[in-house]
Amino acid sequence: MRCLGIIAIAAVIGFSFAACDNGTTGGGNPGGDPTGNPTSATYTSYDEDGNSYQLVITKGTNNPGNGGNPGNGGDPGNGGNPGNGGDPGNGGDPGNGGNPGGGNSSLNGSWVNESEEVWVFNNGNLTVSDNGDEFLRGTYTTSGSYITIAFTQVKGSVFGSDGADMGLSPNQWYTRQQMRSAIISYFMNYAAIFGWSQSEAEEIAEEIADEAVGEIFDPMTGTYTLSGNTLTIDDVVLTRSGSRSAGAVSFSRAADSRAAYAPQSGDSYELTIKSANGTTIGTSTGYVATVNVNGAVYTITLQHDESSNTVSVTVTGNGISYFSGTIYLDNYQTRSNPGTLSGTKPGGNTPGSKTGVWPPNSVLAEFGISGLSAPSGATEMWYAIMTEEDRSLLQIHFDGSPAHDSAITGYFTSNGWTETGTLNGDGYYNAFYKKGDFSGAYMRTSGTSCAIQIESSTGGGDPNNWPTAGILAEYGLSGLSAPSGAIDVEYNRGWKDDVESLAIMFKVPSGTTDSIPGYFTSHGWTQSAASGGTYFFTKAGFSAIYTRLFRSSYDDDVDYDHCTIMSTKER
């Protein structure tokens, strides 16, 4: 689960910027074919609970194209950041990328690339816009035949809905440090769900954040030539604005001016299922086995890679009408047939409504915040409890706004808590509190992502710290005992959307007999898969994953294996 979580967020960050980098922000072809021949089709619909089903079918390598509109085709090789194809080690000084004023003045003016993005060079300063919306700012320098470009600010709108998930505002500009902070904050919000300890989550978050911001903000060096109204940077060709005919530079494209891709047998598919609030429930990948066409209606048989099972889906236009059969997921689980789907998401939040899961008062009282209510208008609420040997923590997460600050801080100051400090800056606010054996914090980052954390110094699980019999029974694990020699035990419980989870983390001496798989198979669980020390189990109403990893390459505990048991159930 830990690896899946890291891969998922890395993909979100990487894909989002790639969408800007390859010219798709200019409305280029789906699939990125420079001839305008589309190579993929996307269908999205919703079930009655608001869960989304997005099916992406991509042309197989041996399948021919099906036409298209070459007049509207973007060029993925030429639509990105100039300099990406160059060799920074062979030319220029990347360190000079932050020196405005070092640019060649002959480059001054507006230049349009083949994705119809507008690059404005002005005496060492650079901006990039699309459809009149500026989304990148930076600097450039030239040295001989080399140019070095360094972006210093990126607009939140570049990342689309993925940016919103990370708490980025589409209208705000972000520096390298602000982007890094936003990514780290996003990771830390999910630490409990993935069973990470605080220190482990921080290490993972910082590593991914540094890599992601490097992709955006690190200087890029490449060769350039200027010939009349044509500027070439590596293989990227830009034309001075005003030198093209009006028909050649169009800053708006109708989506329906492009021919749609027609799915064919042998194509690949990826189905992504998300909850009503955008959390990924599961994915299914494989290939298209058969296609039956009846006018504008396509009935497609999808064959799942992992299980070789099939499901039939009917699509028309850009939506999914219905599935026929069970959907097989990549995590070895299944998704029941959702029935008839709609192209419109049902319901929706009305002003002042709340969505998600707020802790019951029994939990709030346990952590000294009895009576704390969910703020009006808070959405995407979820919470987690972490129990360690000498302490326990409650984390409550929700999407809010600066308007919620006073409601939360007012509760603390009027209920016996002492404020010990605050941090306030552009888009964030943190306040810290103390009350008896409790330490508390309210944190709002990136404008909308809010969290309340309470630590109890007396709420630990003692040196043995194994979940109680009552907790184990809640998650289908009655009778599960701590393995012999287990140390550093901690467990986390999370309540998010329609799912509850229990994750138990511990270490056992390397080379000892593994009793955990035997527990599952002897207590009514069915083993659905096993691979490289990871086991998958199912039981009516529950699913579980057990992982045992030898971690000598990661830390100093060369004599211990690191283990995680996670059981989830739908509420």
Task: Show the 3-state SS of 243-271.
Answer: CCCCCCCCCCCCHHHCCCCCCCCCCEEEE
Q: What is the pLDDT of residues 540-553, one digit of tens each?
A: 889 999 988 765 44
Strand order in the sheet with 40-46: 40-46, 52-58, 268-274, 280-294, 297-304, 310-316, 319-324
Q: What is the pLDDT of residues 507-516, one digit of tens each?
A: 888 888 899 9
Positions of E strands within 190-296: 220-227, 230-233, 236-240, 268-274, 280-294
Burial class (CB in 10 A: 0-12, 13-18, 19+), 161: exposed
Q: Is 190 helix (H, G, I), strand (E, B) or coil?
A: coil
Long-range contacts of 135-140 (CB under 8 A, 24+ apart): 135/20, 135/25, 136/20, 137/173, 138/97, 139/97, 139/98, 139/99, 139/100, 139/103, 140/97, 140/102, 140/103, 140/107
Q: State the average pLDDT for the chain.
A: 75
CB count in 10 Å sphere of residue 356:
19
Q: Which of 1-10, 122-131, 150-159, 380-389 has the lowest mean pLDDT?
A: 1-10
Q: Rounded to an integer, what distance in angstroms lies between the CA atom of residue 408 and that of residue 487?
A: 37
Q: Rounded to an integer, what distance in angstroms lies between the CA atom of residue 254 and that of residue 371?
A: 52
Residue ranges of domains in the chain: 2-30+74-240, 361-456, 475-570
Q: What is the pLDDT of residues 420-465, one digit of tens each?
A: 998 877 667 889 999 999 999 999 876 678 899 999 988 766 667 8
Percent of the chain with pLDDT over 70: 73
Long-range contacts of 151-157 (CB under 8 A, 24+ apart): 151/81, 151/126, 151/216, 151/217, 152/98, 152/176, 152/217, 154/179, 154/216, 154/217, 157/133
Q: Rounded to an integer, what distance in angstroms lies between the CA atom of residue 125 and that of residue 138?
A: 6
- Whole-structure pTM value: 0.44
